[in-house]
Structure 1
Amino acid sequence: MPRASETLWELAQAAAERGGDAEGAADKALLFLGSKAGGKSTIILRCLDREEIPKPTLALEYTFGRRAKGHNTPKDIAHFWELGGGTSLLELIRIPITSDNIRTFAIVLVLDLSKPNELWPTMESLLQVTRNHLNKLITKLGKTNPKVATEIREKMWNNIQKDHPDYELIDPFPIPLVIIGSKYDIFHEFDSETRKIICKTLRFVSHYYGASLVFTGKPDTLLLKARILINHLAFGFDRSKSVSVDQNKPLFIPAGLDSLSQIGPPPASDSDIGKLYAHTPLDLWKKVYEKTFPPMRNSDLKDSKDPALDPQYAEYEIDAMRTQKNQELEQYKRNASKSWKEMELES
């Protein structure tokens, strides 16, 4: 029974810290991260059948959903976390996922297809930081609870059959991963060659990490396939085994149902590929992709908007005090400037 004084944030933190029993019967949880203004909030609301108008996510936000798998059955609860700010708030990833609940979590990475130059650096930054955090948790569990650590490492390969031709060539993500390409309605207007490069690259990355891949956009009917994947991870509904790899249509490829032979080589000539120095297949695809879509600088990817100026967080007394302090600061700067000028004249 929660205390009357507990806030929603405290309850959310408690939910994140709860682990499951030995059979993994705990509530499932998903962490949504990805491109700034890429549509994460919209996807969450639509998957939970909420018709609210999404608001910009300030930092790390929490909500939950309930689903019943059949009539007269108890509803399962799933926890939905969303990281705002694109790649500017990476350190917050460690808050919802802990060693106590890592077995219940999945990652949903939302990438804005309408901004190809931001796609790779956004994806790389978020997946690297998330994977590093997960690996640290698994290493810690290896010392305190080796059985659970072994279970997590084994589950990484659940979607890849041992007889899959690429079994030795891929590097599955530590926990389930879904990659969503958003704003397909804009992406669909790109020229054929641009779509081909982006589609092949995302297919390779998803397959390499043992992830599912799906494209979404307007109208909301394009969200149906994404809902299938999310409901599977959050509530245990059946996972679709249909596949769509046509670059002229929204991609839909559940984890383990693609292959390197179907994806083909990186979209570049043999001579160009031969000139590229890469340590791994992933690095080679990165260099080929960035040759066509030079990455944005990290500073360009960060959110420059001041949340204190956002009207949805307005607080009259706090804002009035902030305005007063800003005025005092400006006056201090003017006085300091005069003092320095006087010192220069005297010298």
Structure 2
Amino acid sequence: MLINRRQFLTSLGLSILAVQMPTLTAQSKLSPNTIIKPPRLRIGDTVGLIAPAGIVDDEDIAAAQRSVSGLGLKVKLGAHILDRYGYLAGKDVDRAEDLNAMFSDRAVNAIIAMRGGWGCNRILPLLDYTSIRSHPKILMGYSDITSLLLAINARSRLITFHGPVATSTWNQLTTDYLQRILFNGEAVTMQNLNIGDVQVELIAPGKARGKLVGGNLSVLSAMVGSPYLPSWNKSILFVEEISEDVYRVDRMLTQLKNAGILNQIAGFIFGQCTNCASGDEPNFTLMQVLQEHIIPLGIPAWYGSMIGHIKDKFTVPVGAEVEINANAGTIQMLDAAVNS
């Protein structure tokens, strides 16, 4: 009887282990270097709104709720979204806690930052990157949110999205790209409509493939030397900027060059440099500065993609594989950036 009892317990234990095995095996096979896609959005999903940088008010929140609700989504507000601490939307620990809480909250399907400004770099050491990787979901924003997009892609290996913040102008073109990429899971080709002043200017011809990384140039250059940047090897770097004199753009690109970043990339896209002045004479034009930095690299590059502080903007997947065509000014996603 003792032998039979042992056999029964052994058999029972093996049966339980067999039930658990798919989950354990799946987790053990997931390399720390594996890029994770967040689940796609669906009508009725809940979006968490947070203020990780600059201050927001009740009017901002009301406008954001209208925009998000217009997409058929529900809204959950961060606990500290209306906090104020100097020019920041609350203390660092509280802004970080709102982001960590949204990722761990199973009722939240995506996270959108209310606005940029300044402050995201300050909370990078306070984020729980392990928990974020364990609870993958869409994170979107631009400008100062570049810090979060790059750090979470680098440390949690999660695809993030350089796109509208909650207080952006959610017009037809912007929402069209957002819906196709985040809801439909399409691998889209992004190409300018050449409307108004948004025109493509070739820097160097050619095509290239690689991982798409980047964001706001001043935020990115301020992150150089930190442990929160992804690998640049054979990547496609995109940048955008607002209200910076040309000499400052030159200074920031020089920082990327001296840090060994530019000589690693396979392609370069400068989106929009909105309200960027030439400054006092004598001076260089922005294109002259871009040509001096980029042409010697021998990589395809262009200026003018619809990325940045403009009304009509692409939703750009940070960490996704793409093919660019500088002659046509196109960014072709090679795969969906979200899971079905």
Higher relative contact order, chain-length normalized (CA < 8 Å, sep 6+): 2
- Identify, as 1 or 2, the structure richer in strand: 2
- Identify, as 1 or 2, the structure richer in helix: 1
Name which one, 1 or 2, has greater alpha-carbon Rg: 1
Q: Establish whether TM, by shorter chain, passes 0.5.
A: no
TM-score range, shorter chain: 0.3 to 0.5
